[in-house]
Amino acid sequence: MPEESKEKTQKKRWTLKKVKTRCRTIYWQNFLLTASVVMLTLALLGSAFFALTYSYAIDERSEQMQSKATVVSHMVSSYMENGSLTGLRELADFASNVTDAEFLICNTDGNLLLTTDTTLANRVLTVPKDVAEGAMRDEEYAVRTTLGGIYEDTHFVVGVPIVSEGATVGFVLAVTGARALTTMWRTFIGLFFMTAVTVLLLSFVVSAWVSMRQSRPIHEMAEATRRFAEGNFDVRMHNYEGVTEISELAESFNNMADSLQETERQRREFIANVSHELKTPMTTIAGYTDGILDGTIPPEQEKQYLRIISDEARRLSRLVRRMLEVSQLQSRDLTRTKAPFDVCESMRRVLISMEKKITDRGLDVDADIPDSGIMVLGDNDLITQVIYNLLENATKFARKGSALYLGVTTLNGKALISVRNEGETIPAEEIPLLFERFHKSDKSRSEDKDGVGLGLYVVKTILDQHKEHITVTSENGLTTFTFSVTLAGGQAAQ
């Protein structure tokens, strides 16, 4: 096959594929569906309308012709009883003009006696036998016929018998052309078609507008998604008012975009913080190690700087360990580890493990822990970790010689555990930032050289996984952290 022919074939296939793809879009599906429904509805209504109007036109015309033919029949019967048909033509012509039909007066044999149709004048004609018999029956008779070739085309014929002195002496035929009969029906058809075309055009326009309006936000969302994939999280959808579902979709999409943007911001901030936290000890370790190796640091001071290197290495190890803990917490499945446990026992274990740090700071402990115990539902190890981190944080920032408070109460199906210390008041604008990763105040950075800024973030992560809450208050030097844990089933409130 020539290359040019192959290229044309491929182009046709591509065009057909493009057309098929467009036809599968929401716009075209809605448009074609609406157009099909409208056209089918109009076809069904049109069929019913045509049948009803045609039947109505036939019935009305037949009734009118039957009435006038009956009048003519009575006149003929009256004239026959008087023995003469003189003067009957004028009356028949008058009835013909009023009815827009021609009258044929025949005897019982079907022979034409008198007619108002000038095209049949002076002709000897005989009506077909079946028509004559039908017209002379004492019932309504209507038929379409050429009257045995009397007329070239089909006419609508109504027959009425002529009764004189109790006997049928002939019949009257009212005849009209089929075209004249369908004049009104054709008028109805023209009106219907005009209305149908108008409705069809309007429906197409409305369908196209509605389909376009529905498909536009989806196209916009697809474009926004592509831009998200390129790393641009500033794209937002417009607010489509008037359509609740589309408006909700746009709002949900924008909320998702806000969440993605915030996640991206936190990711970049996390990388920056990790880089900063890792850079400081690594720079210290590398600098002092190079100083020892190249002789810049005197031999008598090597032990001092080696101790600094050791401390920085341990700090680096703690940072990496905490980051691993956070990663493990975020992927942990609590549905398998949640179980009832005594939170009071966990609080006592934390106090015992913190005894040396508390003593070194010269702090007193005010413990409000019931001896009877309080059963809660959760992961024992993680809740214990929360208590430990909060108590360690309180010990670190407590004023030397002051008192720590660790207590628990129950309220509305929750155990409320509080940790309080005396120290510097936390500014109100800084409280919402306490649980962010690597957040440390300037005071913290100056006094807490061992901290990595992940302790409270771990607390918040664990409580979020338990679907629990934590609050912070700091006034007049008293700072209190209070978090909730759900009571185990059957636990009475105190």
Q: Which of 161, 487, 190, 137 is nearest to 343 (CA)?
A: 487
In this prediction, residue 470 carries a pLDDT of 92
Q: Which residue carries 């326009």 as its tokens?
A: 205
Model pTM above 0.85: no
Give the whole-angstrom CA distance, residue 211 versus residue 27: 5
Give me the residues paired with residue 91 across strands: none
> φ and ψ at 128, to 5 degrees?
-50, 150
Q: Write out the chain's pLDDT in tens, 494 residues.
A: 455 555 555 544 544 444 444 445 666 777 777 778 877 887 787 777 777 777 777 777 788 788 888 888 888 887 766 655 556 777 777 777 766 788 888 888 888 888 888 888 778 888 899 889 888 887 778 888 888 888 888 888 999 998 887 788 889 998 887 665 566 667 777 777 788 788 878 877 877 777 777 777 777 777 888 887 777 777 777 776 666 677 777 788 788 888 887 777 777 766 766 676 677 678 878 888 888 888 888 888 888 888 888 877 887 787 777 667 666 666 666 667 788 999 999 999 999 888 888 888 899 999 999 988 899 999 888 898 889 889 988 998 898 889 999 999 999 899 999 999 998 888 888 888 887 766 655 444 334 445 556 778 888 888 888 889 999 999 988 999 999 999 987 454 44
Give the whole-angstrom CA distance, residue 25 versus residue 37: 18
Q: From edge to edge, which strands make up the β-sheet containing 364-368?
A: 364-368, 403-411, 414-422, 478-486, 470-475
Please list, in sequence order, all residues whose beta carbon lies within 8 angstroms of the beta carbon of residue 139, skipping any fewer than 6 positions away.
none
Please list, in sequence order, all residues whose beta carbon lies within 8 angstroms of the beta carbon of residue 200, skipping any fewer than 6 positions away.
38, 39, 42
Helices then strands (H, E): number in the chain? 13, 12
- Residue 146 DSSP SS3: coil
Give the whole-angstrom CA distance, residue 437 versus residue 456: 8
Distance between first and last Cα of the chain = 91
In this prediction, residue 215 carries a pLDDT of 72
Give the whole-angstrom CA distance, residue 448 versus residue 239: 49
Whole-angstrom CA distances from 329 to 66, 215, 473 are 97, 42, 26
Please list, in sequence order, all residues whose beta carbon lies within 8 angstroms of the beta carbon of residue 125, skipping any fewer than 6 positions away.
111, 112, 150
CA 372 centroid distance within chain: 54
